[in-house]
Structure 1
């Protein structure tokens, strides 16, 4: 998946009760199939760490059905706060017997999409169905309105930068590292210019072996000195060989 493109909406289930987990999982798979939705069940597990490890390694937006009492080192609400670190645009739904704990979703500011009480299976199934439809609708709307995003992995964090805020990418003096110059910050990360160039859209141009520039944020091109002036005053180099392609 290219950075900035929206992938298939992934669905996750974290429920410690095996029977309930299997019933919810089966319901989700049937709903996605019947409604012919562009979604996939990515993971169903009893372990919160499985969810966290998965989203650390995989970019994208998810729909999460979480039990609150997970009988693990963290509960479902704490899991939701960790999910928000890696998937700030994801949809979180709590499925639980603990109606009295709903207020905690506001205290922890996890922005839950819904709070389903485990009273009877038919009600759960109907509510899960509606959550899937609502998430699909909102996600589809975002696909047309959402700014393109470039995602960078730095240590155990995923940092998202809007394309419009990127000025240029520059080869770092540290081997195997690249620096992205954005409007409000600079971030150094492990990467290869060739791979970054392949992920970006046509708004970016490889103007030098050490630079990839965002054409939308160029203020001026100094032909004599082969230098590009960006809108914030920063500068990057352009090689003689690549000059013609940029001007055209």
Structure 2
């Protein structure tokens, strides 16, 4: 879900932009929602700092406020580095500020022709939606397992580690629960390149490691659980984490 934001001080123009994007989102059934439309940049910043989703921001530059749109864009970029920012303004001569403040805007729309504005707004919605679709396609891989009469499907990103259990079973440790099923660790480590065999009894999701203590051979996961590595196998974990020195002890 993408949160869409508007910061425009002129009520009439703000309402036009609201109509453009809400109608298009509804007609195309996009995975977006209008989160906030305001004339107050401070209200927008407060909302963004509390939100955990990437956003799409339509910002006027002249907001009749101590914070102008360019400054607002720079502050948003610091909080939401993956968000898309679009400036809508009558001041075409200010476009160079986008580069000075390193905002990296998706578009810079001039208000001279508001019919053209509608097309450009819709174009930005399309681009943001497609980027979101492609990102989700890459990141939302599923681990699917048949357990008794049920089929369980979980996102790879929710998997902390797999642990061997007696009677040829495996315990899947998720972010907030555990699932037991019949299986073999050596088959699971081939499932996804991020699953690393760190011990005869453990296969860990490298993406969810918070910290590794190589002296004690302990691996701390993001959900607070701990699994262990063997003297030989933990070296494969170390190789994967070499680029991120903050995780190594």
Tell me the TM-score range normalised by the shorter chain: 0.5 to 0.7
Decide whether aligned partners of structure 1 residues 199 and 11 sit closer, same or farther in structure 2, where only a CA change above 3 A counts: farther
Alignment of 1:135-150 (within 5 A): 135-146=128-139
Partner of residue 165, structure 2: none
Indicate if the aligned counterparts of 1:218 and 1:231 stay in contact, CA closer than 8 A: no
Alignment of 1:41-120 (within 5 A): 41-120=34-113
- Rounded to whole Å, the distance in 1 between the matches of 2:112 and 2:32 is 27
Partner of residue 218, structure 2: 236
Q: What's the offset of the Cα at 1:144?
A: 2.2
Matched, 1:26 2:19: yes
Decide whether aligned partners of structure 1 residues 78 and 237 sit closer, same or farther in structure 2, where only a CA change above 3 A counts: closer
Deviation per CA, 1:148-170: give whole Å up to 9, x if none.
9xxxxxxxxxxxxxx79x99xxx
Q: Pairwise CA RMSD of aligned residues? A: 3.8
Q: What's the offset of the Cα at 1:107?
A: 1.2
Q: What's the offset of the Cα at 1:197?
A: 3.6
| TM norm structure 2 | 0.60
1:198 counterpart SS class: coil
1:80 counterpart SS class: helix
Partner of residue 175, structure 1: none
| Larger RCO: 1 or 2 (CA < 8 Å, sep 6+) | 1
Which entry has the higher C-alpha Rg, 1 or 2? 2
1:112 counterpart SS class: coil
Decide whether aligned partners of structure 1 residues 243 and 63 sit closer, same or farther in structure 2, where only a CA change above 3 A counts: closer
- Rounded to whole Å, the distance in 2 between the matches of 1:50 and 1:218 is 48
- Rounded to whole Å, the distance in 2 between the matches of 1:243 and 1:135 is 38
- Rounded to whole Å, the distance in 1 between the matches of 2:177 and 2:38 is 32
- Rounded to whole Å, the distance in 1 between the matches of 2:64 and 2:196 is 51
Decide whether aligned partners of structure 1 residues 113 and 199 sit closer, same or farther in structure 2, where only a CA change above 3 A counts: farther
Deviation per CA, 1:29-73: give whole Å up to 9, x if none.
111112221110000000111111111111011110000111112
- Rounded to whole Å, the distance in 1 between the matches of 2:226 and 2:118 is 60
| TM norm structure 1 | 0.60
Decide whether aligned partners of structure 1 residues 198 and 95 sit closer, same or farther in structure 2, where only a CA change above 3 A counts: same
Structure 2 residue runs without a partner (length 5+): 142-156, 162-173, 181-193, 203-210, 230-249
Q: What's the offset of the Cα at 1:218?
A: 6.3
Partner of residue 153, structure 1: none
Q: What's the offset of the Cα at 1:219?
A: 3.2
Matched, 1:219 2:198: yes
Decide whether aligned partners of structure 1 residues 216 and 100 sit closer, same or farther in structure 2, where only a CA change above 3 A counts: same
Decide whether aligned partners of structure 1 residues 220 and 46 sit closer, same or farther in structure 2, where only a CA change above 3 A counts: same
Matched, 1:39 2:32: yes
Partner of residue 7, structure 2: 14
